[in-house]
Amino acid sequence: MIVRIATEGQYEVGDSDAPVLEQLDNDAVAACDAGDEQGFLDTFTRLIGFVREKGQPVAEDRLDASDVIFPPPDVSFEEAKAEFSGEGLIPG
């Protein structure tokens, strides 16, 4: 599975690691919904760390689309909340 950390790059993550990622993603979303800033930042930091640790960076000359795209590592709580509504992070 190809995972992109926005503004950083793509990583190839093994399928066996996918459930952990999914869990972390759901936890991050739940913390965000609950307005739990610290909880969100902690979970999101773990998520990004997990991708960097378990994933292999994708070669620069590959043109594959990602299966999932995570927000930038320095995403703020405000931005993360905006991800669920409105325009999101991606510029037009």
Question: What is residue 3's three-state secondary structure?
Answer: strand
Neighbours of 15 (CB within 10 A): 7
Nearest approach, Cβ of 23 to other proteins (angstroms)?
10
* Tokens, residue 85: 């509504």
Q: Does 25 interact with other proteins (rule: CB under 8 A)?
A: yes
Q: Does 56 interact with other proteins (rule: CB under 8 A)?
A: no
Token pair 């610290």 is found at: 38
- Check: CB of residue 29 under 8 Å from CB of residue 43: no
Residues 63-82, one symbol each (x = binds other proteins by CB under 8 A, - = not), give xxxxxxxxxx-x-----x--
Question: 36 or 68: whose CB is closer to other proteins?
Answer: 68
Interacting residues toward other proteins by CB under 8 A:
4, 6-7, 9, 21-22, 25-26, 28-29, 32, 60-72, 74, 80, 83-84, 88-92
